[in-house]
Amino acid sequence: MEDKEYNDWKNFGIRVKNSRNSVGMTVEKLAEKSNRTENFIFRIEAGQSCSIHTLYQLSKALNKSSDYLLFGEEMKTKEINYSDREIVDNILNQCDEKKLKIVKDVIIAIFSDFDELVK
C-alpha cells in the first residue's frame, strides 16, 4: 500500500457497515454520533470516499481504529529504538539558552567531576 493512493472505498464501506451492525447501531445513530447525515452514511457504506475528518469521526463513533476501517486490520509499525545519545541530542536541540543552562547545571550537580568543564 506504500506510495499508492487509497482506493478501497468499497471494502471500507463494508467495514463501516459491519462495525456499525456488530454493535447494534442504526444508520441514524451513527450519523448522529459522527455529525453526518443518514444519507451520507448510506453513501459511505456503499463505497463513497470520505475525508480524513470523516474517517476520524467514524472511527471514534464506532470505536474502531482508522487502520481497521481502511485496511481491515491493525497496521503493524516497525519499532524504532533510538540510542540514548539521539534522545538527548533531540531534547537539547529543542532547548533555548535558558533551558540549556538548567540542563548544564543539573549535569554539573549530578557529576562532581564535571567541575573542570565549568572553567
**pLDDT of 67 above 60:** yes
Please give the average per-residue pLDDT across 24-43, as a whole number.
Answer: 97
* Per-chain mean pLDDT for the chain: 88
Contact 10, 47 (CB under 8 A): yes
Chain segment 92-107, per-residue pLDDT in tens: 888 899 999 998 888 8
**pLDDT of 79 above 50:** yes
Contact 56, 66 (CB under 8 A): yes
Please give the average per-residue pLDDT across 23-32, as a whole number.
Answer: 96
Domain locations in the chain as residue ranges = 9-71, 84-118
Local confidence band at 116 (pLDDT 50, 70, 90 cut-offs): low
pLDDT the model gives residue 93: 87
Local confidence band at 1 (pLDDT 50, 70, 90 cut-offs): very low
Per DSSP, the residues of 38-68 read HHHHHHHHTT----HHHHHHHHHHHT--HHH
Distance CA 30, CA 23 (A): 11
Please work out, in degrees rounded to the nearest 5, the angle formed at the alpha carbon of residue 38 by the alpha carbons of 51 and 44. 40
Torsion sign, CA atoms 13, 14, 15, 20: positive
Which of 116 and 31 is assigned the larger pLDDT? 31
Homologous superfamily in CATH for domain 9-71: lambda repressor-like DNA-binding domains (1.10.260.40)
